[in-house]
Structure 1
């Protein structure tokens, strides 16, 4: 954790930044890998990336077979928040479509977004996110939902469902393949990835009122001219984030599909219910359909939330709580009941970290001029992997967009007396519309699986 070192009123001297500067990136997940790639493409020749796990990390939320890509914003048109959201979305979509690293990984299949409760439907219909003017078509009946996919797929009754459908500008991406390609290309361009105990950061190096690198569990310290913290859910373990990050985990599961089913389900629009869960077309390599139950997230509190010394500690686990399995099966029962009792072939938890307002935190630290923060994905960070590293690189170089500087600034004032139970506009099925605690989970699945 961060400690106060020396006279914080003194301005430390900082070496000028150049392509020969030593750059240390802590974290090789979505944002750390993207930052390494963007810096390498800008000609930086001394980039080191540290992570305790092999790349891609099994704990990274981005290390997943697929992810939804739907980047519409509900922020008011003309607002600074909408400007930032639209700019990021534009740059990300351009990367998915035009960058050779990402080409072929974005599947523009369209999307269906829905809700079940009155509160959920109200959240969908307010703001500027979903409207006919933006190409969305309203869905009100079971038949409306069933018509969005080929006959024989959506056989459920969709009780209480209402929502919207769109055929273009959204879909899904092959997440793990994208992360692997980013890492491979960054390595090809000279970035050095250090994993295992030699990449397991224990603390930062503080000297002369600045950050000068990191200490790892094994091997020599890594000293650097600039340090970029992209450690995701583990960032608060390494540096005092002043309660701006809440590490939380979400749950996913896979079921096996036959080759014939995989063909039938190909090119489906993503189906997402804000209170039930989501799925997209099966993975054609493993013939598996991924289903996620929707909920406000799990924390792993070492002490009681609200205690200033409490910490939500991430851990890797390839099982999910039995209650999460029940939520998945409820979602399937309402949409595809013919699959509702099919055994799971794979399951795991994946971690992210929420800021108080779910805006990213990409900023130079005000007290440590050689430290750059790239954290706070807040459950929607992966979609921007083609572009987010460029934003962090701009921050490092000092020419980040002015509106992004404000939106993504270091803002501990937003976390004063933080409500750790805030669901932050997320929903879940009856009985789970609250932030849950792994410490209170009574039973887990016991799935035997092959790597996928």
Structure 2
């Protein structure tokens, strides 16, 4: 007879959102919470297990806002309240400022719209001298060919991602949450359903154990699509990142830099204080891995790889050559694919499943998931307790109608590279780092 383990709330996924959800529920007094994940914590494939992520404050939400503007303003206000004031989160937020810039005309129009939407005046930047004055002398030595943008001097910056991820996990454990993170004991192979399939009863792991629960929350990031039919609402998409090693002296010079984000080039953030590595990413519409599923539908299936396509490395080195040419040929110390799940409209999907009882989905970070992490736990806890704010509930609802006829290759407003989503199966050359 198969063994069964009982719990009140079962969370599938111990990444950024899973940890935030567990923490918020435990803080509200919920007990008997179990989190399952197939990788040791912190998972090497979790998008949140990263040096840093961009974070930015937003305008106050208004009743006159469109639903989309209201969603982003409300979400950001809740998240940034935690990043700035919650004792658990506030040490991880660095208000260094933020520069949004572009080279191409279409990408620059995005920068203009961004500047116009801000409630504070931003300083316009045009050309080498303007960009160089945003950072200490000797940092930005590039020529910035064609670069234009705007500088937000405060109210934005970055968060120490892996530190915050660990803090959420550790505090949740202190509050009684049980984490099972192991390739057999924690890896969920399937959801458990009632005989007539109208309710989820829990999940079965690779060791054959059935974990039953009165409430199951599916929050497994890009892998969520492998456990439930989301009716094309999710598209697992990958981006590429790299670390550049710096000396102790260089790290000192490059401390407290504003984030420089080139909409059609990429971005970099100041080095971490422990390993003296600077993270950079090239900007592009993303990579997917298209595979036919059992129903004959084309979908993207994520896979782990601590290598990046050579073309991505070339784009990163172009970013460096235009901004910090002193690093343009320096060997990378670390690279990897970083997966997230795009919804069709890039609004998160957090809702009780309308057709299956006892199941809440919390997915669809769409490239914005980590900054929102403190808010995600609050929203999901509100959903569990049936008190999620109505306009948020409407925006984050289960909405397969938005994905009818969805184009798997939709760039979703992103710029960079050749302006196309790229098939990972077409990649011919990969970096040899990590091999």
Q: Find the aligned partners of 2:55 and 2:266 in 1 and give their Cα distance.
A: 15
Equivalent residue for 1:150, pick from 117, 136, 144 = 136
Is the contact made by 1:72 and 1:129 (CA closer than 8 Å) also made in structure 2?
no
2:219 is aligned with 1:230: yes
Equivalent residue for 1:118, pick from 105, 111, 114 = 105
- Indicate the residue corresponding to 2:367 in structure 1: 379
TM-score for both structures, normalised by structure 2 = 0.94
Deviation at 1:424, TM superposition (A): 0.4
Equivalent residue for 1:271, pick from 260, 263, 278 = 260
* SS of aligned partner of 2:350: strand
Runs of 4+ in structure 1 deviating by more than 3 angstroms, as ranges, are: 71-77, 128-133
Is the contact made by 2:115 and 2:122 (CA closer than 8 Å) also made in structure 1?
no
Q: Find the aligned partners of 1:176 and 1:409 in 2 and give their Cα distance.
A: 29
Equivalent residue for 1:24, pick from 10, 17, 41 = 10
* SS of aligned partner of 1:398: coil
Q: How does 1:53-64 map to 2 (within 5 A)?
A: 53-64=39-50
Q: Please give the per-residue CA displacement for 1:236-258, whole angstroms capped at 9, x wherever unaligned.
A: 10000000000011100011101
Q: Find the aligned partners of 1:427 and 1:332 in 2 and give their Cα distance.
A: 18
- Indicate the residue corresponding to 1:13 in structure 2: none
* SS of aligned partner of 2:264: coil
Deviation at 1:70, TM superposition (A): 2.2
Deviation at 1:123, TM superposition (A): 2.1
Q: Find the aligned partners of 2:56 and 2:215 in 1 and give their Cα distance.
A: 34
Deviation at 1:310, TM superposition (A): 2.5
Equivalent residue for 1:200, pick from 173, 187, 209 = 187
Q: Which has the larger strand fraction?
A: 2
Is the contact made by 1:352 and 1:378 (CA closer than 8 Å) also made in structure 2?
yes
User: CA 1:129–1:23 in 2, change beyond 3 Å: closer, same or farther?
Assistant: farther
Deviation at 1:97, TM superposition (A): 1.6
* SS of aligned partner of 1:224: strand
Of 375-384 and 133-142, deviating more is 133-142
Of 237-246 and 187-196, deviating more is 187-196
Deviation at 1:190, TM superposition (A): 0.6
Deviation at 1:130, TM superposition (A): 4.2
Deviation at 1:53, TM superposition (A): 0.7
User: CA 1:86–1:276 in 2, change beyond 3 Å: closer, same or farther?
Assistant: same
Structure 1 unaligned runs (5+)?
Answer: 1-19
User: CA 1:74–1:417 in 2, change beyond 3 Å: closer, same or farther?
Assistant: farther
Deviation at 1:56, TM superposition (A): 1.5
Q: How does 1:252-401 map to 2 (within 5 A)?
A: 252-303=241-292, 308-401=296-389
Deviation at 1:134, TM superposition (A): 2.0
Deviation at 1:261, TM superposition (A): 0.5
- Indicate the residue corresponding to 1:17 in structure 2: none
Q: Find the aligned partners of 2:58 and 2:89 in 1 and give their Cα distance.
A: 20
Deviation at 1:202, TM superposition (A): 1.2
Q: Find the aligned partners of 1:67 and 1:401 in 2 and give their Cα distance.
A: 27
Structure 2 unaligned runs (5+)?
Answer: 1-5
Q: Find the aligned partners of 1:242 and 1:376 in 2 and give their Cα distance.
A: 13
Is the contact made by 2:61 and 2:74 (CA closer than 8 Å) also made in structure 1?
no
2:73 is aligned with 1:79: no
Q: Find the aligned partners of 2:265 and 2:83 in 1 and give their Cα distance.
A: 28
Q: How does 1:166-185 map to 2 (within 5 A)?
A: 166-185=152-171
- Indicate the residue corresponding to 1:99 in structure 2: 86
2:7 is aligned with 1:48: no
* SS of aligned partner of 1:419: coil
- Indicate the residue corresponding to 2:3 in structure 1: none
Q: Find the aligned partners of 1:131 and 1:397 in 2 and give their Cα distance.
A: 34
Is the contact made by 2:238 and 2:286 (CA closer than 8 Å) also made in structure 1?
yes
TM-score for both structures, normalised by structure 1 = 0.91
Deviation at 1:75, TM superposition (A): 10
* SS of aligned partner of 1:22: strand
The alignment of Structure 1 onto Structure 2 pairs a total of residues equal to 425
Deviation at 1:45, TM superposition (A): 1.1
User: CA 1:251–1:132 in 2, change beyond 3 Å: closer, same or farther?
Assistant: closer
Q: Find the aligned partners of 2:133 and 2:112 in 1 and give their Cα distance.
A: 21
Deviation at 1:360, TM superposition (A): 0.3
Is the contact made by 1:74 and 1:129 (CA closer than 8 Å) also made in structure 2?
no
* SS of aligned partner of 1:67: strand
User: CA 1:52–1:325 in 2, change beyond 3 Å: closer, same or farther?
Assistant: same
